[in-house]
Amino acid sequence: MQEKHFPFDKNFSEEQATRKLILFNDDINTFDHVIETLMYHCGFTEMQAEQCAWITHTKGKCIVKEGSFDDLEPVANRLADEGLTVEIQ
């Protein structure tokens, strides 16, 4: 039986690969602002948002969401508009 080789799908773009939306710690935003912003724009419960805020505070960063670049970009833009420091990696 001959082994099958599948050619690289040229339609599969880098934007479709799984990315991470990272929230970084800063000395500007309050815990309350970060928690409220994550609840509003990411759909987190208060407990989820609080845990993310504490992880960010203690470790310097926290993965907020994972997905394609196209899915994460609007969320990242909204969080940045609220003054949070975020990056898609």
Q: In 3-state terms, what secondary structure has residue 85?
A: strand
Each residue's pLDDT tens digit, 23-79: 999 999 999 999 999 999 999 999 999 999 999 999 999 999 999 999 999 999 999
Task: Delimit the domains of the chain by residue range.
Answer: 26-84
Is the CB of residue 81 less than 8 Å from the CB of residue 47? no
Cβ–Cβ < 8 Å for 51, 39: no
What global pTM score does this model have?
0.81
Residues β-bridged to residue 87? 22
Residues 6+ apart with CB under 8 A from 88: 19, 20, 21, 22, 69, 72, 73, 76
